[in-house]
Amino acid sequence: QVQLVESGGGLVQDGGSLRLSCAASGRTFSNYAMGWFRQAPGKEREFVAAISWSGGVTAHADSVKGRFTISRDNAKNTLYLQMNNLKPEDTAVYYCAAPREGSPLTTRLDQFLNWGQGTQVTVSS
């Protein structure tokens, strides 16, 4: 299994920016499509963005399209989520995740098998 560790969360004002990172280890990172999810208090975990193993194909939830960008650096075994124009409703714990090794890009939460511990993002109004 691939091990995932997120970082980069914090407190930011409405309209601010953050970049989340997810460091992968244990397996060949470039063999995995990857994704970001988030969970706000009292709500279900939801899809944010996903990326193919090569980085050539991405998908973003409608709620973040135009504001968030997923990317990866396979040489550094790291996944990123650049978040711009943050809003209070973006407040959540953000998780990076990987589906089964070799799987194509997916946005379905139930297909992600490996999860990081999460990083808190809080946007103040």
- The answer to whether residues 8 and 22 touch, using CB atoms and an 8 Å cutoff, is no
Q: At a CB cut-off of 8 Å and minimum separation 6, what does 18 contact?
A: 8, 9, 10, 12, 83, 86, 121
Q: What is the pLDDT of residues 62-86, one digit of tens each?
A: 999 999 999 999 999 999 999 999 9
Q: Output the CA torsion sign for 42, 79, 101, 119.
A: negative
pLDDT tens-digit profile of 8-56?
Answer: 999 999 999 999 999 999 989 999 999 999 999 999 999 999 999 999 9
Residue 19 · residue 82 · CB < 8 Å: yes
pLDDT band of residue 97 (cuts 50, 70, 90) is very high
Q: Which of 111, 88, 91 is nearest to 32 (CA)?
A: 111
How crowded is residue 43: how many other Cβ atoms within 10 Å of its Cβ?
9
- Residue 49 gets the label, from left (phi > 0), alpha (psi -120 to 50) or beta, of beta
**Identity of the residue numbered 29:** F
